């Protein structure tokens, strides 16, 4: 095979992976929204911060359980079906931890330093009257932070927020690994349902130049129609991650007053309702995007490649079925890499192809011009 043929085959495969990765991403976001995957990962991260082990979360007197029962956290849940928040501000985290340490029955303006020190020394929070114990490792770590802050509450608050930020960075990595595994499963299901067999597609593209040209043209049209697809995906992700939580610092009431708590609850209840409406809108948007992708791109691409479940019937023996299974698994692995990866690679290869094609056309034109000048007349 010449270089341009090999390049076209690769571009064709990458375009297939890109389109199905986009569909898999939409399905993943739909699952994440409905099953609250982000909230579960956040809960896992918070539990790792506050408990000796994840099993301690089941204890009703655990620190993490008390953390989630605090009003500022409790009312951040989307709705009754999803009571745990998917996102917590670092300022909210630090405030809740300090609240648990100093207790709820504290008068405005009262010195809290001694209360925090008392909780850290006893290894129990003031919030529940000393009934909630702090794990030894967590207690030691909090005491270390308190010592580094030299007993300054505001420095202690800032260090708690830094701790939270560092943990959230690791939690982002956990979530990406978790979703990549889910993407593989989704990719395998899509490969089987639509019979997207990498080996078979590569073989078809190798044998049929017209098929290669059609698929490359569709890929070129897609990249021109979506020049900033990576930005589109990032914007979509930001919209999915957007939560309508109010800024609790806007209140002019004392931070620990009962009126302040009631005001925050009213605003949070309003935000939860608005967030619930946002989630419904997101689900509808994701469904529309999936239908649009299938109708406009996948059906056209599958028509060009002749992909359908009817292809199963052409395999009548085990070697053929095994080869098809390997093809599906290769497709699933490719889909698990994500749409941004394939879009970036497709853009680079399309530029290489356009450059090669342009160079070849120029060389052909130069060759034609040379031949024309060498023609001599007779007679």
Rounded distance, CA 118 to CA 106, Å? Answer: 14
Rounded distance, CA 232 to CA 343, Å? Answer: 12
The answer, yes or no, to whether residue 184 has pLDDT greater than 60, is yes
Tell me, what's the pLDDT at 4? Answer: 84
Name the average pLDDT for the chain.
Answer: 80
User: Quick check: 84 and 68 in contact, CB under 8 A?
Assistant: yes
Q: Which residue has the higher pLDDT, 344 or 229?
A: 344
Report the candidate in 171, 175, 181 with the shortest Cα–Cα distance to residue 337. 181
Rounded distance, CA 149 to CA 37, Å? Answer: 35
What is the tens place of the pLDDT at every residue in 16-27? Answer: 999 999 999 989
The answer, yes or no, to whether residue 131 has pLDDT greater than 80, is no
Structural domain boundaries of the chain?
3-346
Q: Once rounded to an integer, what is the mean pLDDT over residues 336-359?
A: 88
Give the tokens for residue 244: 């309508």
User: Quick check: 290 and 26 in contact, CB under 8 A?
Assistant: yes
Tell me, what's the pLDDT at 112? Answer: 83
The answer, yes or no, to whether residue 58 has pLDDT greater than 70, is no
Q: Once rounded to an integer, what is the mean pLDDT over residues 253-257?
A: 45
Helix (H, G, I), strand (E, B) or coil at 26: helix
Rounded distance, CA 269 to CA 267, Å? Answer: 5
HSE toward the beta carbon, residue 172, CA cutoff 13 A: 8
Q: Once rounded to an integer, what is the mean pLDDT over residues 321-341?
A: 93
Q: Which pLDDT band holds residue 267 (cuts at 50, 70, 90)?
A: low
3-35 vs 198-207: helix axis angle to the nearest 10?
Answer: 150
Q: Which residue has the tokens 């209140």?
A: 251
Rounded distance, CA 319 to CA 324, Å? Answer: 9
The distance in angstroms from the start CA to the end CA of the chain is 46
Q: Which residue has the higher pLDDT, 93 or 267?
A: 93
Q: Once rounded to an integer, what is the mean pLDDT over residues 217-236?
A: 82
Q: Which of 205-214, 231-240, 363-372 has the lowest mean pLDDT?
A: 363-372
Tell me, what's the pLDDT at 37? Answer: 87
Report the candidate in 13, 164, 198, 188 with the shortest Cα–Cα distance to residue 93. 164
The answer, yes or no, to whether residue 241 has pLDDT greater than 60, is no
* Residue-wise burial string across 137-169, b where 16 or more C-beta atoms lie within 10 A, e elsewhere: ebbeebeebbeebeeebeebbebbbebbeebbe
Give the tokens for residue 40: 């579960």
In terms of phi and psi (left: phi > 0; alpha: psi -120 to 50; beta: otherwise), the region of 223 is: alpha
Q: Once rounded to an integer, what is the mean pLDDT over residues 100-114?
A: 77
Q: Which pLDDT band holds residue 245 (cuts at 50, 70, 90)?
A: very low
CA 179 to mean position of chain CA atoms: 7
Q: Which of 66-80, 136-150, 172-186, 317-331 has the lowest mean pLDDT?
A: 66-80
Q: Please calculate the CA angle 334-35-245 and round it to the nearest 5 degrees.
A: 110
The answer, yes or no, to whether residue 298 has pLDDT greater than 50, is yes
Handedness of CA 261, 266, 267, 273 (dihedral sign): positive
The alpha-carbon radius of gyration of the chain (Å, integer) is 29
The answer, yes or no, to whether residue 294 has pLDDT greater than 90, is no
The answer, yes or no, to whether residue 84 has pLDDT greater than 80, is yes
């Amino acid at each position: 095979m010449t270089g341009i043929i090999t390049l076209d085959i690769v571009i064709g495969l990458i375009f297939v992976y890109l389109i199905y990765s986009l569909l898999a991403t939409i399905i993943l976001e739909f699952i994440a929204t409905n099953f609250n995957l982000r909230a579960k990962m956040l809960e896992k991260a918070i539990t790792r911060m506050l408990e000796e082990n994840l099993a301690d979360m089941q204890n009703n007197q655990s620190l993490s359980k008390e953390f989630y029962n605090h009003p500022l956290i409790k009312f951040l849940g989307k709705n009754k079906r999803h009571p745990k928040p998917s996102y917590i501000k670092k300022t909210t985290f630090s405030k809740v931890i300090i609240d648990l340490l100093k207790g709820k029955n504290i008068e405005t303006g009262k010195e809290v330093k001694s209360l925090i020190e008392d909780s850290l020394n006893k290894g129990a929070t003031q919030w529940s009257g000393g009934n909630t114990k702090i794990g030894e490792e967590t207690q030691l770590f909090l005491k270390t932070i308190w010592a580094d802050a030299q007993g300054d509450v505001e420095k202690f608050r800032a260090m708690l927020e830094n701790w939270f930020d560092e943990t959230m960075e690791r939690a982002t990595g956990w979530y990406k690994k978790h979703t990549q595994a889910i993407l593989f499963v989704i990719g395998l299901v899509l490969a089987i349902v639509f019979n997207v067999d990498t080996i078979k597609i590569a073989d078809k593209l190798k044998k049929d130049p017209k098929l290669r040209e059609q698929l490359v043209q569709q890929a070129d049209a897609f990249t021109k129609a979506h020049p900033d697809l990576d930005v589109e995906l990032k914007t979509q992700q930001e919209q999915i991650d957007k939560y309508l939580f109010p800024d609790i610092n806007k209140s002019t009431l004392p931070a620990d007053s009962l009126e302040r708590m009631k005001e925050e609850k009213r605003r949070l209840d309003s935000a939860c309702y608005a967030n619930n409406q946002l989630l419904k809108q997101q689900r509808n948007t994701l469904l529309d995007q999936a239908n649009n992708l299938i109708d406009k791109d996948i059906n056209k691409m599958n028509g060009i490649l002749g992909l359908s479940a009817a292809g199963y019937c052409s395999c009548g023996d085990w070697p053929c079925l095994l080869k098809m299974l390997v093809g599906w698994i290769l497709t699933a692995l490719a889909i698990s890499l994500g749409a941004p990866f394939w879009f970036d690679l497709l853009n680079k290869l399309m530029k290489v192809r356009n450059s090669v094609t342009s160079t070849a056309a120029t060389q052909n034109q130069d060759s034609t011009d040379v031949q024309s000048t060498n023609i001599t007349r007779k007679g």
